[in-house]
Amino acid sequence: MSGLAAFKPYFLGPRSENETWVRAGIDGVLDDWFDWRKRLFADDPAAITPADQAAPGFLADRARLGERLAELVAKLRGETPVYSPRYIGHMVSELGLPALLGHFAALLHNPNASSREVARVSAVIETEAIAMLAGMIGFDPATARGHFTSGGTVANLEAVWRARYRLDDNLALGLTLAERFDEPLDIFAAAHLSARRRQAMIARRGLTASDLRARSGVLGNPHDIAERLGRASGRPWRGPVILAPGHKHYSWVKAANVFGLGEEAFWTAPVDAQGRLSVAGLAGRIDEARAQGRPVLMAVSVAGTTEMGEFDPVDRVADLLCHLRRTQGVHIWHHVDAAYGGYFCALDPDERLLTAPLWRALRAVRRADTVTIDPHKLGYAPYACGAILTRDTARDAISTFAAPYVEGDDPEAAPWTTTLEGSRPATGAAATWLTGRTLGFGPSGLGAVLASTIESCRAIRGALTAASAQVRPLDPMDTNIFCFSVASEGESLSTANARTAAVHTAFVRSPHFAASRTVLSAAACPDLIAAHVASWGGAPDADGLVLVRCVVMNPFWADPALRARLLGELTDELRGIIAATSASLTV
Ligand X SMILES: *Cc1c(COP(=O)(O)O)cnc(C)c1O
CB contact at 8 A, 254 and 161: no
Question: Considering only 54-62, 146-154, 419-427, 489-497, which stretch makes contact with ligand X by CB under 6 A?
Answer: 146-154
Q: Within the chain, what is the greatest distance between any pair of CA atoms?
A: 82
Q: Which C-beta is closer to ligand X: that of 271 or that of 302?
A: 302
- For ligand X, the binding residue among 94, 126, 337, 559 (CB under 6 A) is 337
Question: Considering only 98-106, 147-155, 518-526, 563-571, which stretch makes contact with ligand X by CB under 6 A?
Answer: 147-155
Smallest separation (angstroms) from ligand X to the CB of 142: 27
- Give the CA distances from residue 256 to residues 157, 213, 319, 527, in Å, rounded to whole numbers and listed in that order: 9, 24, 26, 26
Q: Which C-beta is closer to ligand X: that of 156 or that of 479?
A: 156
Number of residues that bind ligand X (CB under 6 A): 14
SS3 of 229, please? helix
Identify the helix (H) or strand (E) that includes residue 353. none
Torsion angles phi and psi, residue 299, rounded to 5: -110, 130
Q: Does 151 bind ligand X (CB under 6 A)?
A: yes
Neighbours of 87 (CB within 10 A): 21
Q: Which C-beta is closer to ligand X: that of 379 or that of 386?
A: 386
**Nearest position to ligand X, beta carbon:** 152
- For ligand X, the binding residue among 153, 301, 418, 485 (CB under 6 A) is 153
Q: Does 244 bind ligand X (CB under 6 A)?
A: no
The amino acid sitting at 150 is: S
Q: Which C-beta is closer to ligand X: that of 343 or that of 507?
A: 343
Q: Does 386 bind ligand X (CB under 6 A)?
A: yes
Alpha helices (runs of H) in 182-260, residue ranges in sequence order: 187-191, 195-205, 209-213, 222-233, 251-258
Question: Considering only 127-135, 299-307, 397-405, 504-512, which stretch makes contact with ligand X by CB under 6 A?
Answer: 299-307
Q: Is the dihedral of CA 197, 198, 203, 205 positive or negative?
A: positive
Rounded (10°) CA dihedral 251, 256, 259, 265: 170
Q: Residues near 532 by Cβ (< 8 Å), separated by ≥ 6?
A: 472, 474, 475, 485, 545
SS3 of 86, please? coil
Q: Does 249 bind ligand X (CB under 6 A)?
A: yes
SS3 of 142, please? coil
Q: Does 486 bind ligand X (CB under 6 A)?
A: no
Q: Which C-beta is closer to ligand X: that of 158 or that of 169?
A: 158
Question: Considering only 151-159, 261-269, 394-402, 570-578, which stretch makes contact with ligand X by CB under 6 A?
Answer: 151-159
Q: Does 152 bind ligand X (CB under 6 A)?
A: yes
Alpha helices (runs of H) in 445-492, residue ranges in sequence order: 446-467
- Binding string, 338-357, against ligand X, x = CB under 6 A? -xx-----------------
Question: Considering only 17-25, 75-83, 140-148, 335-343, which stretch makes contact with ligand X by CB under 6 A?
Answer: 335-343
Q: Which C-beta is closer to ligand X: that of 202 or that of 514?
A: 514
Using CB under 6 A as the binding rule, the residues of this chain from 366 to 385 that contact ligand X are 374
Q: Does 503 bind ligand X (CB under 6 A)?
A: no
Using CB under 6 A as the binding rule, the residues of this chain from 300 to 319 that contact ligand X are 302, 305-306
In the sheet that 370-373 helps form, which strands lie side by side, from edge to edge? 145-149, 386-390, 370-373, 334-337, 296-302, 241-245, 266-269
Q: Which C-beta is closer to ligand X: that of 315 or that of 374?
A: 374
Q: Which C-beta is closer to ligand X: that of 115 or that of 419?
A: 419
Smallest separation (angstroms) from ligand X to the CB of 10: 22
Give the whole-angstrom CA distance, residue 404 versus residue 420.
Answer: 17
Q: Residues near 61 by Cβ (< 8 Å), separated by ≥ 6?
A: none
Would strands 471-473 and 481-486 be described as parallel, antiparallel, or unpaired? antiparallel
SS3 of 139, please? coil
Question: Considering only 16-24, 152-160, 356-364, 433-441, which stretch makes contact with ligand X by CB under 6 A?
Answer: 152-160
Q: Which C-beta is closer to ligand X: that of 14 or that of 309?
A: 309
**CA angle (239 as vertex; 237, 245 as ends), nearest 5:** 145
Q: Applying CB under 6 A, which residues contact ligand X?
A: 151-153, 156, 249, 251, 302, 305-306, 337, 339-340, 374, 386
